[in-house]
Chains A and B, each alone.
Chain A
Amino acid sequence: MEITRRRLLVLLPAAAVAWKFVLAGTPEASPNYKLTEHWWGMLIDIPKCIGCGGCVRACAEENDVPEGYYRTWIERYHVTDWKIEKPEVESPNGGKQGFPLNQDSGGKNFFVPKLCNHCAESPCTQVCPVGATFVTPDGVVLVDKSYCLGCRYCVQACPYGCRFINPKTNTAEKCSLCYHRITKGLTTACCEVCPTGARQLADLKNPKDPIHEFLKTHTVQVLKPHMATGAKVFYNGMDGSVR
């Protein structure tokens, strides 16, 4: 076939379209779930948390988290009178087996569940040298195990201490917001088992999600707002001593 100017003009756009499909790779596995229709976060209602450790145990079971490492954990705060800058914080075994009885010594005591804040402007994904961790179009920070080198940059970049290196795989690991569950229409394992509703998964793009009414009517904060990470785990009733 002789390449004339006319044929070339037809072929070039066709080749461009074909190349776009090559770049796009394979289509998504779950056809009913649309990445662009969700923007995930979580609501933590501190006054409701009883520190039972159910979320920590469920997370470990659901995600095969190695013993001694935590994708989510619970901290018990003890604040004496005005000393909100020097709280006593403890988290024995991540709160997995609950908390030992403490003597009520007159201060303020409460539990704070922690997990990845799934930051929209996440510091951890920005430092990855190989593109092994990223924010998905639906707002979840994930790790691509097959791409991670285990360089630990992200572990020290996270201001919330939510990442660790899995001792078996030697790759970075963190809360995936149970991505395999939320894309199937389920809630996360921690929210599923929370007996008091202290943890609630929130789809910020869904106008019918009760999170919107809650945010409108409550005093809500994120952790370390001064770091401008775009954290999407919202804490209700959080004391100033929490960091």
Chain B
Amino acid sequence: MFKDIEHLVRLAAVMVIALVAFAILRTAVVPRSFGQYGHYRGAAIAEAAARPVAFAGHDTCEACHTDVVDQKKQGKHVVVSCEACHGAQARHADDPASVKPAKLDTAVVCARCHEANSAKPKGFPQVATADHSGGLACDTCHQPHRPRIDTSAETKSATEGKK
């Protein structure tokens, strides 16, 4: 049919080799999970989920600190989760014996929420701390887990927050 077919055969051979090389290279380079869910590496989802947590979550805290839960139930702070004030405590939850949460400075922590600001919702309890307490720590008068000052209530329980 063709007179000099040899150069066509050579060209075809080169193309076949290039195609095979491309196919092998592609399989080697593209991660296996690429395209599992879409145009991305599917294994990245499991990697994102595998990271450790810093905040343990209030359910974890409440499993041990039942006395504080009872205290909080008596006041408005029942809706505030433990780590909102005490900070990330997953390491404490993993090893309660050796990792102890730092003691809080109520003059700083309480003011974060309760310092007066005209942008805060009107019904939210706010004070200008300089006038209200003159720099005194809030827990001089208020018990943070049950903040309303009730003159008839018993004083702070000795074990509260120390369990």
Question: How far, in whole Å, are A146 and B33 apart by their CA atoms in the complex?
Answer: 14
Identify whether the interface residues of A are mostly helix, strand, loop, or mixed: loop
A interface residues, tally (CB under 8 Å): 59
Separation of A51 and B37 alpha carbons in the complex (Å) = 38
Nearest-Cβ distance from residue A108 to partner chain B, whole angstroms: 9
B-contact 0/1 string along A37-54, CB 8 Å cutoff: 000000000011111111
**B48 CB to closest chain A CB, in angstroms?**
5
Which of the four size classes fits the interface of chain B? 35 or more
Q: Are A134 and B32 touching (Cβ within 8 A)?
A: no
Cβ of A113 to closest chain B Cβ, rounded Å: 12
Chain A positions 93 through 126: 1 when the CB is less than 8 Å from some CB of chain B, otherwise 0: 0000011011110000111000000000000000
- Chain B neighbourhood of A61, CB < 8 A: 54-55, 87-88
Mark the stretch among A27-35, A160-168, A205-213 that contacts chain B: A27-35
Count of A-B residue pairs with CB < 8 Å: 148
Within 8 Å by CB of B119, from A25, A30, A51, lies: A51
Question: B113 contacts the other chain (Cβ, under 8 Å)?
Answer: yes
Contact string against A for B residues 58-97, beta-carbon threshold 8 Å, 1 for contact and 0 otherwise: 1000000000000000000001110110011000000000
The answer to whether A196 and B124 have CB atoms under 8 Å apart is yes
Q: Which residues of A contact B (CB under 8 A)?
A: 22-26, 28-30, 33, 35, 47-54, 58, 61-62, 76-78, 98-99, 101-104, 109-111, 131-137, 142, 144, 146-147, 176, 179-181, 183-184, 186-187, 189, 192-197
